[in-house]
Structure 1
Amino acid sequence: MFLPDVRTFLAVASVGSLSAAARQLDVAPMQVSRRIAALEEDLGVRLFHRTTRSLTLTAEGEAFVPFATAMADAESGARAELSPLPGKASGVLRMTAPSGFGQSVVLPMLPALLEANPELRIDLDLSDRQVDIVGQGLDLALRIAPLEDSELVAKKIGPNPRLICAAPVYLEKHERPSTVADLDNHVCIRLSAVRRWPLVVDGTLIRKRVDGYVTTTSVEAARTAAVQGLGLAQLTYWDVFRHLADGSLVQIHLQDAAMEDLSVSAVMPSRRYVPNRVNVFLDGLRKQIVELREGDRY
């Protein structure tokens, strides 16, 4: 059943005239007549008694009015729910983000976002594992590590370079490294997924083997271990920016190597029909990243 035909039926039933309904709908009278005929053929009943002077509903037409009204109202409600006014978001935003990034960047922006969009709800999975967003029915995944080859759509939201850092208490006991070779003389905290540290030497990405007493699957645990003075850590900017700002961690610069330049990326199932709640959230996230970077002295 074609909804424009249903809406045309309701218009004709309301005004009692094909020509008046055509003026109301801003279409040609012939188009109104064709839509009514198509609806009657689809339903297999006559909806109107027609004479040269009058047009009235049949018994079947009378019976169809409440159903037609319900269908038209349901369509209007669906469009209002799924296509809200520009700049506003509604519905449930189902998303995932790395735990550390989620707690330090995403969660602080939610009060203002939800206040500006009172019809929006957030379902947030904080996890450092790679989540199957299609299989889990998610709208969005935020990634701060290198992206694997995927059929999903990825958009760069902001910078997130890797860096090496250590606690002042560690550097008081150990000479600060200044070259790649110096790392051999230091205790290094390793992530299980990144046992060899990526470094850019003479424009080429290498994987430097490092050793230490702590290896962990958790970015937060690696950061905590570094703050406690258990060794050097290679993490990404958004994992440690607050600790660099308060001095509990210090950035280490190597003279003969640069860090891998990563990004915060938004990964979505498709580039078509992206829900407005996703676009509103990403606009807020971009603004949050810019404001945090501008307030960072490092």
Structure 2
Amino acid sequence: MLLPDVQTFLAVASAGSLSAAARQLNVLPMQVSRRIAALEEDLGVRLFHRTTRSLTLTAEGEAFVPYAKAMVDAEAGARAELSPSPGTASGVLRMTAPSGFGQSVVLPMLPGLLESNPDLRIDLDLSDRQVDIVGQGLDLALRIAPLEDSELVARKIAPNPRLICVSPGYVKRYGRPDTVADLDQHRCIKLDAVGRWPLVVDGKLIRKRIEGYVTTTSVEAARTAAVQGLGIAMLTHWDVFRQLADNSLVEVHLQDASMEDLSVWAVIPSRRYVPNRVNVFLAALQKELSDLAGRRGAQPL
């Protein structure tokens, strides 16, 4: 199986036609057709349904896509590792991150990262849902929720504990809770994904039922609602570190409970053939978090 044939297969699958793939690869359509035919003969399966008007992947072609991407990424990773400038990255970094963390930390760091790596491109999905990174062909997922057992590889990037926060305006008008029981008397902002607030009481994790004065699916909306004084929110440190630094939000410390410790995790599909762009991004992310902690008095990393 020749790598140029595999690269041609991915180009055709992405472009949707032989002629479009040929333009993308800067070769003749006949060369594209020959490479696809050679790959199909090598694998012993048909990869595309072809008619005079359309070209679509067969079931075997669909199944081959992630393997083809892994082969191309492995080749790119090897070249990057052996290149004279291993500190730079190239290609498309396909990744996902939680929306709040992505807005607060990832997006602000991208201009500097891309300036230092002019051949790098970013394909970023900001979503609070658990994305199947293997099925979606992603290089990397940043996750904050407690990790489930999986065959994926996880690396801890930074601590990111939950915390309860509220605006000074809310405190002035309604006061602040001192105990877990006091939460029942306050207006709370609830995330759909966190129906019960996890709290550590007497060393045990409990899940406190919260009646949402405001309920939302969005971390950004919960943060904005808290800043506007609509209620008390439970978010994570890196979701609200800027607001804590400028005092638009203050942290609430309960006398009889502490917060659940979470972390920012980097999740990759495999330890093998990690593209250099992933390592370069993670190094930049760790530096960004460390710099932010130093500048804003955030929790040390």
The normalised TM-score by structure 2 is 0.71
* Separation in structure 1 between the aligned mates of residue 207 and residue 251 of structure 2, nearest angstrom: 20
* Separation in structure 2 between the aligned mates of residue 140 and residue 271 of structure 1, nearest angstrom: 12
> How many Å apart are 1:289 and its aligned residue?
0.6
Render the CA deviation track for 1:227-278: whole Å, top value 9, x for unaligned.
1111110000111111111111111011111100100000111111111110
Q: Secondary structure at the match of 1:213?
A: strand
Equivalent residue letter for 2:118: P
2:269 maps to which residue? 269
1:60 maps to which residue? none
1:255 maps to which residue? 255
* Separation in structure 2 between the aligned mates of residue 104 and residue 81 of structure 1, nearest angstrom: 30
Tell me, yes or no, if structure 1 residue 95 matches structure 2 residue 78: no
Report the aligned-residue RMSD: 2.2
* Separation in structure 1 between the aligned mates of residue 231 and residue 97 of structure 2, nearest angstrom: 27
1:171 maps to which residue? 171
Do 2:162 and 2:262's aligned partners in 1 also have CA atoms closer than 8 Å? yes
2:105 maps to which residue? 105
Structure 1 residue ranges without an equivalent (≥5): 3-75
Equivalent residue letter for 2:261: D
* Separation in structure 1 between the aligned mates of residue 277 and residue 135 of structure 2, nearest angstrom: 20
Q: Superposed, which structure 2 residues align to 1:109-124 within 5 Å?
A: 109-124=109-124
> How many Å apart are 1:82 and its aligned residue?
7.6
Equivalent residue letter for 2:253: H
* Separation in structure 1 between the aligned mates of residue 78 and residue 190 of structure 2, nearest angstrom: 50
Do 1:113 and 1:281's aligned partners in 2 also have CA atoms closer than 8 Å? yes
Equivalent residue letter for 1:125: D
Is the radius of gyration larger for structure 1 or structure 2?
1
2:12 maps to which residue? none
2:34 maps to which residue? none
Q: Secondary structure at the match of 2:258?
A: coil
Do 1:109 and 1:288's aligned partners in 2 also have CA atoms closer than 8 Å? yes
Equivalent residue letter for 2:117: N
Do 1:83 and 1:276's aligned partners in 2 also have CA atoms closer than 8 Å? no
Q: Secondary structure at the match of 2:190?
A: strand
Q: 1:268/1:210 Cα in 2 relative to 1: closer, same or farther (>3 Å)?
A: same
Q: 1:81/1:279 Cα in 2 relative to 1: closer, same or farther (>3 Å)?
A: closer
Q: Superposed, which structure 2 residues align to 1:1-298 within 5 Å?
A: 80=79, 84=83, 85-297=85-297
Q: 1:81/1:296 Cα in 2 relative to 1: closer, same or farther (>3 Å)?
A: closer
Q: 1:174/1:97 Cα in 2 relative to 1: closer, same or farther (>3 Å)?
A: same
> How many Å apart are 1:108 and its aligned residue?
1.4
The number of equivalent residue pairs is: 226
Do 2:197 and 2:234's aligned partners in 1 also have CA atoms closer than 8 Å? yes
Do 1:212 and 1:231's aligned partners in 2 also have CA atoms closer than 8 Å? no
* Separation in structure 1 between the aligned mates of residue 278 and residue 76 of structure 2, nearest angstrom: 20
Q: 1:77/1:276 Cα in 2 relative to 1: closer, same or farther (>3 Å)?
A: closer
Do 2:77 and 2:273's aligned partners in 1 also have CA atoms closer than 8 Å? no
Q: 1:213/1:87 Cα in 2 relative to 1: closer, same or farther (>3 Å)?
A: same
Q: 1:138/1:82 Cα in 2 relative to 1: closer, same or farther (>3 Å)?
A: farther
* Separation in structure 2 between the aligned mates of residue 88 and residue 153 of structure 1, nearest angstrom: 23
Equivalent residue letter for 2:163: L
* Separation in structure 1 between the aligned mates of residue 197 and residue 149 of structure 2, nearest angstrom: 21
Percent identity, aligned pairs only, is 75
